[in-house]
Amino acid sequence: MSAKDFFHNAVRLALEKDGWLVTDDPLYFRLTALVKIRIDLGAEKLIGAEKDNQKIAVEVKSFIGLSAISEFHTAIGQFLNYRLALEQEDYERVLYLAISKDIHQEFFTDTFIQNVLERYNIKLLVFDIQKEEIVLWKH
């Protein structure tokens, strides 16, 4: 089993504080004999008067390595593969990439990074590490 991201527990707590029920930790799919997918978190939330559950999957990335751009390339590739897996296995779930407020401000505001996010329709969940709270949902 793959290791949990450095900020995994902070994101889980942030989701719970925001009213989400974490249903899967990790969210696991076996797509083929060779391909297994483990998305960090699966969560659900009852949405208002409609009585409908909103379902999300969250892939947590810390960006604490030496090269933010290298980690970004890996994260985007992983995100795109996970989104395709969700389309096949759990199409109601919306996938989010969870990143800290700091990396969002320092790296994700770059024009090129913004263009990539827009081109590939990458949804972000931005969290405060210390407060363990969600500060931004970027759709």
99-119: pLDDT as tens digits = 999 999 999 999 999 999 999
- Contact present, 96 and 58 (Cβ < 8 Å): yes
Residues 114, 78, 89, 51: is their CA dihedral positive or negative? negative
Q: Are 39 and 82 in contact (CB under 8 A)?
A: yes
Structural domains in the chain, CATH included, are 8-138 (3.40.1350.10)
Supply the pLDDT for residue 125.
Answer: 98
What is the per-residue pLDDT for 17? Answer: 96
What token pair was written down for 22? 């974490």
**CA–CA gap between residue 107 and residue 83 (Å, rounded):** 23
What residues in the chain have per-residue pLDDT under 50? Answer: 1
